[in-house]
Amino acid sequence: MKVLFFLYLCVTLLIADNPKIYSTLGDAIYNNTENILKLKDMEAYAAMYEDIDKYISEVHVVKKIGKAIEEGDTSVSSKEYLEKLRILSKENDNYVRSAQSKFRTSMSDEDSELFSLLINSELVDTSRYKNEIINYYVAHSESVNADGVIQKFIDEENSLKNKEVVNKKLYKSKQQYQKEKIQRIREQDEAQQKALEETLEEELEKKKSEIRENQVKELAR
């Protein structure tokens, strides 16, 4: 019980602001501790529970060193802090690689429980393996928990489909608008052409009438 409380305290403190010194290296470690702790929910990592506890505790200690340096504690060496960060970074990377490896194994072994836990651990690059995750879910939907990452993918697919439907409607609307515009132009052209023809016809009839009148006058002389 004391161990669990201590780990809870460690993680709570780790959630607090990270030290700014060597933040590029430190943030990747500190921000991933909660995810690594999730491995203790998986039986596949039972043999590593103790190692995970030790790692979380060590990260907590190193973070305190970083904070102390920022607060001006000259008894702490920034060089020593950097070296400790490098060691933790390697361990962090090992946990990430292990999760990626077990994720692939969970699919080949059809271990849906482990598969679900790993894809929601944030230790697996789900964007990279999106197609594999969706394909596995489709084939094992009855045994896979769709909450989390899979539901997000499903929502994205539905959103994309809805967007495509909207785009099709917009495309049809634009097509209809262009069609109606062309029709209006044609009707205007036809009306103008008809008016021109009628004007020419009237002028022609007028000319003919004038010619006939002139001919009548000539004959009357």
Q: How far apart are CA 189 and CA 185, in angstroms?
A: 6
Q: How far apart are CA 123 and CA 63, in angstroms?
A: 21
Contact 37, 95 (CB under 8 A): no
Closest CA to 156 of 127, 125, 120: 127
- Over residues 177-203, the pLDDT tens digits come to 467 667 778 877 787 887 777 777 777
Domains in the chain: boundaries: 16-145, 147-220
pTM greater than the 0.75 cutoff: no
pLDDT of 4 reads 47
Q: Which of 30-39, 115-124, 163-172, 198-207 has the lowest mean pLDDT?
A: 163-172
